[in-house]
Amino acid sequence: MAENIDFSIETLGPCKIPSPVHLSTRMNDMVANYVDDNEKIIYNIDQDLEASGKTLKTVFVREQLLEKAGPREKIYFDPKKVCAGIVTCGGLCPGLNDVIRSLVMTLWFQYGVQNILGIPFGYCGFLPEYGYEPIQLTPSIVSNIHQHGGTMLGSSRGGANTEAIMDAIEQMNLNILFTIGGDGTQHGAYKIYEEAQKRGRKLAVIGIPKTIDNDLSFIQRSFGFETAVSQAVKVVNAAHTEARGAINGVGLVKVMGRESGFIAANTALASNDVNYVLIPEVPFELAGPNGLWENLKKRLASRHHAVILVAEGAGQNLLAASDQVDASGNKVLSDIGVFLKSKISEMAKLDGTTINLKYIDPSYIIRGSEANPNDSIYCSRLGANAVHAAMCGKTGVLMSMVHDRYVHVPIKLSIGRRNLIDPDGDLWRDVIIQTGQPPLMVNHPHS
C-alpha cells in the first residue's frame, strides 16, 4: 500500500510578476520551457502490484506526487526589492562553496537581485552576542570559491535561538533565507519558517540539504556524498596496499556515518578491496564463533591480509555509552575506530596470532576536500533551483532530487525521519555478496 505522504508546498502568495528569466511556454520551439506547478514527479515507483492487488494505473493515480523544481513564468518577489540571506551550518562538506556560488550567480545574473548577504558562522552569525556582521556577496567575491573546500562563510553548530534569529532577519530586512545544512540545520530552518508565519512576515525559507552521510529522508543523494566516497576509496586502496605488504596485515579504516552507513557501503562497492563493512544499521559482535574476530582469523589464515571499513556510528553498543550531546543536539559518539584497533590487537595477542594492524581515520581530510566534478554540477543545479523556488515565493521547502529530477519537498517531511540502509534491501545485499562477509556477525541472531 502506498504510504500516505503530504508533499504539498506552501507559497507566500500568488505570483504576478513576469520572470526576468526568458524561456518558452510552447513545446518543440527549440527554446527551453518554464516549469508549471502542475508538473509532478511520482515519488514511489517501487510497487509490489501483485501483493497489493492493484493495477498499475490505480497505483499511479493514488500515489503521492512531488512538485517539480525549476523557473516559473511568473514570480512572487520583485527582484529590485529582494534582500536574500545565505547561511551554512554544521560540519564541513565538499560542495558548500559551489552551492553559495550558484545561489549568488543565479540571483544576480538571472533575476537581477543585487542585495545578497552571507551570514558568517552558521546560525550564530545572526545572534548579536557573537558580534558578526553579514557579508555583502557579489559575483566577483564568489567567482572562484568553488575551487576550494570548506565554506567561505564559515560554519558552526548550535545557535538556534529562533526568536533572536528572526529578530535579526527582520533587522536585515531579508525576504529570502537559504539554509545550507543537514538535519539540525533544517530543524532550525523549519522553526524559522514557523516563527515567520507567526509574525506574519513574508519570508521564503529554502533549505538545501547538506549531509555528507546521505541520511536526510526524501533526498536521493546529498551533495558531497559522491566526493566523500571517491576520497574514501583512495584511503581504502592505501589501507589494502599496506595490508598486503605485511604479515597478516589488517587495514582498518573509519569513515563518516553517525546513523547510516551509506558512505561505508558505497565505498566498499567502489573499491572492491574491503572484506568487512560495519555500519550502524547492522549489529555485530567481536567475540564468539560468529563474531568479527573469528571471521577475521579465518580470513587471515587463508588470504593473509584483510581490510575492515567501519562507519563512525557502528558498534556503539559495544562501547561505554555517553549522555553528552554536541551543540547541534547530536549524541557524542564513542570512537569505534580506536576501540576496534585496541580490541582486535588485544584478541590477536590472546590467541597468539600475529597481525600488523594499520588504522586510518581520514574524516576531516574528506570533509575539507573540494567537490569532485559530479558533485560540483549537482551543487550548481541545486543552488539554481533553490533560487527559482525562492523567487516564486515557495517557503518551508527543501530542494531535492528524486528519480534524477529536481523537486520540492516540505522541510517538515524530511526532518521527520532518517534515511537508513535497509539490511533486507538490495544495497546491503550487494555489499554482502561483494565483500564475502557473513550476513550477520552475531552469535545469537534474533528470529
Q: Give the residue numbers marked as catalytic.
A: 213
Through-space distance between the first and last CA atoms of the chain, rounded to whole angstroms: 25
> Quick one: which of 105, 112, 118 has its CA closest to 82?
112
> Quick one: which of 240, 248, 358, 241 has its CA closest to 301?
248
**Which residues make Cβ contacts (< 8 Å) with residue 245, sequence separation at least 6?**
none
**How many of the other CB atoms lie within 10 Å of CB of 71?**
24
Tell me the CA distances in angstroms from 251 to 254, 306, 307, 308, 344, one per residue in order. Answer: 10, 6, 5, 6, 12
Q: Which three cell numbers stand for residue 256?
A: 563518516
Whole-angstrom distance, CA of residue 316 vs CA of residue 340: 11
Whole-angstrom distance, CA of residue 106 vs CA of residue 137: 12
Cβ atoms of residues 255 and 263 within 8 Å:
yes
Strand, helix or coil for residue 117: strand
Cβ atoms of residues 122 and 90 within 8 Å:
yes
Whole-angstrom distance, CA of residue 363 vs CA of residue 433: 26
Whole-angstrom distance, CA of residue 41 vs CA of residue 430: 28
361-398 burial: b if 16+ Cβ within 10 Å, else e = bbbeebbebbbbeebbebbbbbbbbbbbbbbbbbbbbb
> Quick one: which of 15, 122, 21, 10 has its CA closest to 385?
21
Tell me the CA distances in angstroms from 73 to 113, 115, 301, 371, one per residue in order. Answer: 17, 22, 67, 32
